[in-house]
């Protein structure tokens, strides 16, 4: 045996693109984020061969996590095959040699923009969410120094004042995507621009969620089995977007998050936003052997943590 | 020093032992505040007794607003001590509290009305929201209770309730002051600070806001410190007066005494300039 047998063969690039020091720093930040659920940890965002704003935050986290045995899934607005998702998936796979999949159940790491899959994630899976703006207090104060002080003091009154104003002016909560949540009864967190429909999926979840903003250079985490509660009043409740009466045009599925497809004649139909899930339903209907997992919302629209969504 | 002439005791001989034995609600000693070379407050001592209305008069720039900002724990003192006899922090020097404790103190026990509404109100938040803000800070998380408390406080300030969902910038100056007042009293504070509350208003509006202040004081007996350069306002509301000049207290006494028979030369000028 000689030395070359024991050392890694020379390559033109580091495994998974990032050098060892960058990965070590990212992993340390991730561990800190997991230790303080919902707290934004600053990190040194690295240059990548894609532009900031196209998921570099999520990409750095994914690259620092993957090993040869991993299987990665990348989605953009629920779609595995959008240009953006395909680019990121190919990049990660080329740089790390991991397997890729469209199947939520088969993935070990899922990088996503704007969606949490419909099938329930399980222990050991990691969801990496791309975040454009990590600061839920941005609208409350233009000063990030003051925002950090407010986080330190858990001074979130202004968020409830916003809710009060929404009810008074519009009769309901108007926050759409990025609806703020209180994590582990301590930090108010922006769950990235996922629809309100996906917001409850972070509560007491079996999987680990990592959220990372490449431009803002901050990452934060929701560890498995952590309380994540949308901000609401004791007597006026948070509500998810109603999917009532919507049927997937390909499979007839109901009570999942739907994209509306407008037609030239002014009518519209609906299509499952989670295309990986839709593919599996199509295959099952055509008789193929495929495992479709349990979903966060069942076929009657009931959320899997009974009683979590109040009405 | 005599504490205050309570209306109950009007026409009766003062019950001296009781008054002497009532400890002050607010006690400040040796207050100092500088802005660079400007000495805004120098060696100010202050006692305010429960239920009393203390008036502060003095020319512009004499340090009156600075004093109220210190009492509202909005900015630090450069020296001195300050106590309020309320549950959590009785006997503690409030200047020594941390940022979080100061905020708690301000939210729970001190209300303030500024001359300029934009200092006290969020101009882009509804009137009701401005009042609710205070209750939210105190931990209220029920919409209907917030709404109810906001209505109650606005009503007590004689604010027209049909305008509860209007923004302050759509309101007249007098109504803006009423929103500030509602916000200040919503949690029934131990101490109410009023900094020239009617100075920006037309004379007739001013009179009506003063009536409201007077009525509220009579009904709630909230301990009040009111700043005004208008001696008429002070005469209407205050039991006792302190006169400030260049950051110092130059005269203290019962309102009638100080305004009718001033001892200090500067106070004499001030009173006569007014007459
Ligand atoms: N934030 C500040 N920065 C610098 N100087 C100030 C500040 N606030 C007040 N001052 C100065 O302190 C003095 C007292 O001001 P102030 O308390 O506003 O007086 P008053 O309310 O009696 O008119 C004035 O000379 C004023 O210019
Ligand atoms: Mg002033």
Query: ipTM of this model?
Result: 0.89
pLDDT tier, A4 (very low <50, low <70, confident <90, very high otherwise): confident
Structure confidence by residue, pLDDT tens digits, B178-218? 999 999 999 999 999 999 999 989 999 999 999 999 999 99
| Same domain, residue pair A169 and A43 | yes
- State how far the Cα of A45 lies from the Cα of A96, in Å rounded to an integer: 19
Instruction: Tell me the pLDDT tens digit for each residue of B108-135.
Output: 999 999 999 999 999 999 999 999 999 9
Q: Judge residue A61's burial from the number of C-beta atoms within 10 Å of its C-beta, 0-12 exposed, 13-18 middle, 19 or more buried.
A: buried
Distance from Cα B63 to the centre of ligand 1, integer Å: 6
Residue A30: alpha-carbon gap to chain centroid: 15
Q: Is the pLDDT of residue B4 over 60?
A: no
Structural domain contains residue A222:
yes
Name the residue among A266, A269, A268, A246 with its Cα closest to residue A256: A246
One domain for residues A66 and A139: yes
Q: Is residue A9 part of a domain?
A: no
A154 lies in a domain? yes
Kindly identify which residue of chain A lies nearest to residue B135, measuring between CA atoms: A157
* Closest chain A residue to B102, measured at CA: A153
User: What are the backbone dihedrals phi and psi of residue A158, each rounded to the nearest 5 degrees, phi first?
Assistant: -60, -25
Q: Among A64, A146, A71, A69, which residue's Cα sits nearest to residue A106?
A: A71
Q: How open is the CA angle A128-A190-B99, to the nearest 5 degrees?
A: 130
Please check whether residue A159 lies inside any domain of the structure. yes
* Element spanning B275, H or E: none
Say whether B142 and A155 touch across the interface (CB within 8 A): no
Structure tokens at A265: 């004649």
So what's the pLDDT on residue B11?
46
- Would you call B200 exposed, middle or buried from its count of C-beta atoms within 10 A (0-12, 13-18, 19+)? middle
Say whether residue B146 is in contact with chain A using an 8 A CB cutoff.
Answer: yes
**What would the pLDDT profile of A182-207 be if each residue is shown by its tens digit?**
999 999 999 999 999 999 999 999 99
Token duo for residue A14: 């580091």
Give pLDDT tens digits for A230-276. 999 999 999 999 999 999 999 999 999 999 999 999 999 999 999 99
Using CA positions, which residue lies closest to atom 6 of ligand 1? B35
**Chain B residue numbers touching A142 (CB-CB < 8 A):** none
Instruction: For strands B79-84 and B53-57, give the pairing.
Output: unpaired
Interface of B with A in 160-179 (CB under 8 A): 165
Distance of CA B227 from the midpoint of ligand 2 (Å): 8
- In this predicted model, what pLDDT tens digit does every residue of A279-290 receive, in sequence order? 999 999 999 999
Question: What is the dihedral angle through the alpha carbons of A108, A109, A115, A118, rounded to the nearest 10 degrees?
Answer: 0
- Residue A203: inside a domain, yes or no? yes
**Rounded Cα–Cα distance for residues B63 and B59 (Å):** 9
Q: Please give the residue range of the domain that contains residue A276.
A: 243-302
- Selection from A206, A64, A217 nearest residue A131 by Cα: A217
Chain A residues touching B143 at Cβ < 8 A: 163-164, 167, 233-236
Query: E strands of chain A, at which residues?
Result: 41-42, 71-76, 99-100, 109-113, 126-130, 181-183, 187-189, 208-213, 218-222, 228-230, 258-262, 268-272
Highest mean pLDDT among A5-14, B145-154, B266-275: B145-154
What is the helix (H) or strand (E) element at residue B144, kind and residue range?
helix B143-156
CA distance B110 to B44: 20
CA distances from residue B245 to A33, A190, B41, B252, B266 in whole angstroms, order as listed: 55, 51, 9, 12, 8
Tokens of A117: 């899959």
In a domain, A308, yes or no: no
Task: Based on the fold, state whether residues A247 and A226 are members of the same structural domain.
Answer: no
Q: Same structural domain for residues A86 and A29?
A: yes
Full-model pTM: 0.90
Residues A62 and A208 in one domain: yes
Whether A7 is in a domain gets the answer no
CB within 8 A of A99, min separation 6: which ones? A70, A71, A72, A93
Q: Which chain B residues are within 8 Å of A165, Cβ to Cβ?
A: 125-126, 129
Q: Which of A153, A160, A163 sits opposite B100 (nearest CB)?
A: A153
> How close does chain A come to B126, measured CA to CA in Å?
7
B137 and A157: CB-CB below 8 Å? yes
Tell me which residues have their CB closer than 6 angstroms to ligand 1.
Answer: B 35, 38, 40, 58, 60-66
- Relative to the alpha carbon of B116, which ligand is closest? 2
Ligand nearest B199 Cα, by number? 2
In this structure, the residue with its CA closest to atom 12 of ligand 1 is B40
Beta-carbon count within 10 A of B186 CB = 24
Distance CA B219, CA A255 (A): 57
Contacts of B144 in chain A (CB under 8 A): 235
Q: Which of B99, B137, B143 sits opposite A164 (nearest CB)?
A: B143
Strand order in the sheet with B53-57: B110-113, B191-195, B223-227, B53-57, B240-245, B248-254
Residue A166 is given by DSSP the state: H
Looking at residue B98, its pLDDT comes to 94
A85-143 pLDDT, tens digit each: 999 999 999 999 999 999 999 999 999 999 999 999 999 999 999 999 999 999 888 89
**Distance from residue B15's CA to the centre of ligand 1 (Å):** 40
Quick one: which ligand is closest to B114's CA?
A: 2
Q: Say if residue B269's pLDDT is above 90.
A: no
| Residues A257, A138 within the same domain | no
Asked whether residue A111 is assigned to any structural domain, the reply reads yes
Which residue from A160, A165, A233 is facing B126, i.e. has the nearest CB?
A165
Rounded Cα–Cα distance for residues B141 and B119 (Å): 25
Q: Contact A161/B100, CB-based, under 8 Å? A: no
Of A172, A145, A162, A165, the C-alpha closest to A238 is A172
Q: Does B103 touch chain A (CB under 8 A)?
A: yes
The answer to whether residues A77 and A174 belong to one domain is yes
Q: What is the pLDDT of residue B2?
A: 38
Of A179, A202, A230, the residue that ends a domain is A230
Domain count, chain A: 2
pLDDT beyond 50 at B8: no
Q: What is the DSSP letter of B256?
A: H
CA A202/CA B221 separation, integer angstroms: 50
Facing A167 at nearest CB: one of B99, B122, B143: B143
Residue A191's CATH number? 3.40.50.11310
């Amino acid at each position: 045996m000689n030395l070359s047998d024991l050392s890694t063969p020379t390559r033109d690039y580091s495994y998974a693109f990032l050098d060892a020091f960058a990965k070590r720093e990212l992993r340390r930040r991730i561990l800190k984020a997991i230790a303080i659920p919902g707290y934004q940890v600053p990190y040194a965002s690295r240059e990548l061969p894609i532009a900031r704003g196209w998921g570099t935050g999520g990409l750095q986290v994914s690259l620092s996590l993957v090993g040869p045995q991993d299987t990665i899934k990348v989605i953009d607005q629920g779609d595995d095959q959008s240009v953006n998702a395909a680019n990121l998936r190919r990049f990660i796979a080329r740089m790390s040699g991991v397997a890729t999949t469209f199947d939520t159940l088969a993935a070990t790491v899922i990088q996503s923009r704007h969606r949490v899959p419909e099938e329930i994630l399980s222990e050991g899976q990691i969801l990496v969410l791309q975040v454009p703006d990590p600061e839920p207090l941005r609208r409350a104060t233009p000063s990030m120094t003051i925002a950090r002080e407010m986080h330190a003091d858990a001074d979130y009154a202004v968020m409830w004042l916003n809710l009060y104003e929404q009810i008074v002016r519009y009769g309901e909560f108007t926050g759409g995507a990025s609806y703020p949540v209180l994590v582990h009864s301590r930090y108010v967190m922006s769950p990235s621009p996922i629809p309100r429909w996906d917001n409850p999926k972070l509560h007491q979840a079996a999987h680990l969620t990592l959220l990372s903003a490449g431009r803002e250079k901050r990452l934060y985490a929701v560890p498995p089995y952590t309380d994540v509660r949308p901000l609401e009043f004791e007597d006026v409740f948070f509500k998810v977007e109603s999917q009532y009466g919507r049927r997937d045009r390909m499979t007839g599925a109901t009570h999942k998050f739907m994209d509306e497809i407008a037609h030239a004649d002014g009518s519209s139909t609906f299509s499952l936003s989670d295309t990986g899930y839709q593919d599996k339903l199509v295959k099952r209907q055509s008789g193929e052997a495929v495992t479709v997992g349990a979903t966060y919302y069942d076929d009657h629209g009931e959320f899997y943590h009974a009683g979590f969504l109040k009405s | 020093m005599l504490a205050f002439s309570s209306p109950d005791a009007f026409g009766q001989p003062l019950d001296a032992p009781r008054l002497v034995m009532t400890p002050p609600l607010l006690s400040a000693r040796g207050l100092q505040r500088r802005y660079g070379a400007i000495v805004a407050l120098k060696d100010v001592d202050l006692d305010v007794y429960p239920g009393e209305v203390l008036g502060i008069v003095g020319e512009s720039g004499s340090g009156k607003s600075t004093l109220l900002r210190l009492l509202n724990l909005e900015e630090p003192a450069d020296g001195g001590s300050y106590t309020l006899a309320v549950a959590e922090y009785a006997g503690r020097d409030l200047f020594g509290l941390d940022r979080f404790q100061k905020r708690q103190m301000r939210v729970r026990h001190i209300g303030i009305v500024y001359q300029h509404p934009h200092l006290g109100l969020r101009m882009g938040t509804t009137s009701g929201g401005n009042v609710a803000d205070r209750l939210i800070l105190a931990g209220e998380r029920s919409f209907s209770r917030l709404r109810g408390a906001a209505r109650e406080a606005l009503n007590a300030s004689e604010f027209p309730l049909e305008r509860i969902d209007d923004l302050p910038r759509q309101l007249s100056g007098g109504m803006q002051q009423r929103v500030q007042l509602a916000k200040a009293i919503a949690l029934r504070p131990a101490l109410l600070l009023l900094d020239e509350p009617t100075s920006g208003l037309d004379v007739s509006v001013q009179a009506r806001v003063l009536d409201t202040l007077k009525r509220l004081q009579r009904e709630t007996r909230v301990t009040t410190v009111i700043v005004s350069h208008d001696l008429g306002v002070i005469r209407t509301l205050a039991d006792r007066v302190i006169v400030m000049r260049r950051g110092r207290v130059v005269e203290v006494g019962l309102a009638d005494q100080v305004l009718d028979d001033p001892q200090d030369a500067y106070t004499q000028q001030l009173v006569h300039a007014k007459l």
